[in-house]
Amino acid sequence: MTNHELKQLRRLLFLEVSEAAALIGECEPRTWQRWEKGDRAIPNDVSKVIQMLALTRLERLQVEFDEADPNYRYFESFDEYKTYGGTGNELKWRLAQSVATALLCETESDKWREEETID
C-alpha cells in the first residue's frame, strides 16, 4: 500500500488522523502522519486492517439494507450511534457514516441531477 492509498482510505472511512492512529495503528498521530507522507513504511497489519474496512464498506453497499440498522445510518456522534443500537467502537461508527453517505448519494443522485441548474 502506498502512502496516498492509506490517506485515501482513511478519508473514505471518515477517520481523522488521530482516530486512525488510535483505532487502527495503535500509535501516535504523528506516526500515522509520517506513513501518509511517505516518510515511514506502513506496517503490514495497518494496511490489512484498513483494506479490510474498505472491503467491508463495499460489501455493505452491495446488499439490501435495513434503514433501521445503525450500520447503514448516519449519526453525528458515536454516542448517538450507540443509542440507536450501534455496537463496537468508533471505527464501526465511522464505517457506518461512510456507508450512509454513499447510500445517500446513490439514492438521491437522480433527484439531484433533475434539480441541477447551471447559471
- According to the model, what pLDDT value does residue 67 have? 85
Residues 6+ apart with CB under 8 A from 92: 71, 81, 86
- Whole-number pLDDT of residue 65: 84
Q: What is the number of other CB atoms lying within 10 angstroms of the CB of residue 32?
A: 26
Residue (of 91, 88, 85) closest to 46 by Cα position: 91
pTM metric for this prediction: 0.87
- Position 16 scores a pLDDT of 97
Angle at which helices 29-37 and 3-12 pack, to 10 degrees?
120
* Cβ within 8 Å of residue 53, ≥6 positions away: 9, 13, 24, 91, 95
What pLDDT is stored for residue 117 in this prediction?
64
* Assigned C-alpha cell, 86: 450501534
- In order of 13, 23, 35, 45, 94, the CA distances from 31 in angstroms are 19, 13, 6, 14, 21
Give the pLDDT confidence score for residue 119 in this predicted structure. Answer: 58
Per residue of the chain (119 residues), what is the pLDDT tens digit?
999 999 999 999 999 999 999 999 999 999 999 999 999 999 999 999 999 999 999 999 998 888 889 999 999 999 999 999 999 999 999 999 999 999 999 888 888 888 876 65
